Amino acid sequence: MQRYFVDKKNDDNFYLNSDDSYHFIKVMRANSGESVEIVYNKKLFLGKLIKADLKESIIKTSKEIDLNDINYNISIAQALVVEQKFNTILQKCTELGAKEIIPLEVSRSKINLDKKVDKKVERWQKIVKEASSQSKRIDIPKVKNICNIKELIAGEYDHKFLCSVNEKSKTIKMVLQNMQSCDKILFVVGPEGGFTDYEEELLMTSGFIRISLGDLVLRTETASIAILSMVNYHFMR
């Protein structure tokens, strides 16, 4: 059964925007009477399509469904990589429960930012919305505006970790043992060439702790997936 996020309702009627209406009607070939799940204000409802319109379809809900949401608060700051890889990172981080994704511009980022930065962030937010629907979440992670190292360290978190291949790094297994599900936790993943010494030192002097994901050196697009997989296992109910 398809699931869509909506922000417009009137009594028991919920309204799909044009993008979701097109997907439901044209791509999924839904007709009037089709059952569908609706998320509104982080609440899940079961409903039926009563008006199929490509501009704005109407769903009439029949009941609210009790459901447990993800019970941990993980942010991923991901150094920018080429578009295809970054899109995959967004999708997989969403599927694995990230609450917030922070695009990070660093010295070795392999991407050229143009004047259409706002459009990029808007597109990234759309990608995580679609991934949230596909993975049956009842919330959508926030894709923050692109920031640099100095802007990143100004954020407030209970725990801040820097993924590193430094031999003195603590293992992620060790640090997760001290984490509580209510904690606000930030993991930072560097670019393909790694952080510069200056960038890593800046993070370390700002309270970040180096952690290792294991003996193998992972690609940057693999690291975030590995982190969230381990977090899911650790907090598994």
The CATH number covering residue 154 comes to 3.40.1280.10
Q: Which residues pair with 39 in a beta bridge?
A: 5, 44
Kindly report the CA angle at 165 between 160 and 168, in degrees rounded to 5? 75
| CB of 163 closer than 8 Å to CB of 175 | no
pLDDT tens digits, 84-107: 999 999 999 999 999 999 999 988
* Residue reference for tokens 């597109």: 123
Q: Does 83 lie in the same domain as 51?
A: no
Q: With H, G, I as helix, E, B as strand and everything else as coil, classify residue 39.
A: strand
CA distance linking residue 91 with residue 126, whole number of Å: 10
Q: Does 100 lie in the same domain as 81?
A: yes
* Cα-only R_g, the chain: 20
Confidence of residue 129 (pLDDT cuts 50, 70, 90): very high
From 55, 49, 42, 41, select the one nearest 2 (Cα to Cα).
49
pLDDT tens digits, 161-204: 998 776 667 888 888 887 877 789 999 998 888 888 899 899 99
CA distance linking residue 202 with residue 45, whole number of Å: 46
Domain count for the chain: 2
Q: Does 147 lie in the same domain as 176?
A: yes
| CB of 44 closer than 8 Å to CB of 61 | no
Q: Does 220 lie in the same domain as 124?
A: yes
Q: With H, G, I as helix, E, B as strand and everything else as coil, classify residue 211.
A: strand
Q: Does 102 lie in the same domain as 61?
A: no
CA distance linking residue 172 with residue 176, whole number of Å: 6
Q: Does 78 lie in the same domain as 61?
A: no
Q: Does 130 lie in the same domain as 110?
A: yes
Element (H, E) at 162: strand 159-163
CB contact set of 154 (below 8 Å; sequence gap of 6+): none
- The dihedral through the CA atoms of 202, 205, 211, 215 has a sign that is positive
From 48, 42, 54, select the one nearest 14 (Cα to Cα).
48
Which tokens in the block code for residue 20? Answer: 């979701």
Query: Is the pLDDT score of 237 beyond 60?
Result: no
CA distance linking residue 187 with residue 210, whole number of Å: 10
Structural domain including 203 reads 73-234
pLDDT tens digits, 40-99: 988 899 999 999 888 899 999 888 887 766 678 999 999 999 889 999 999 999 999 999
pTM (predicted TM-score)? 0.86
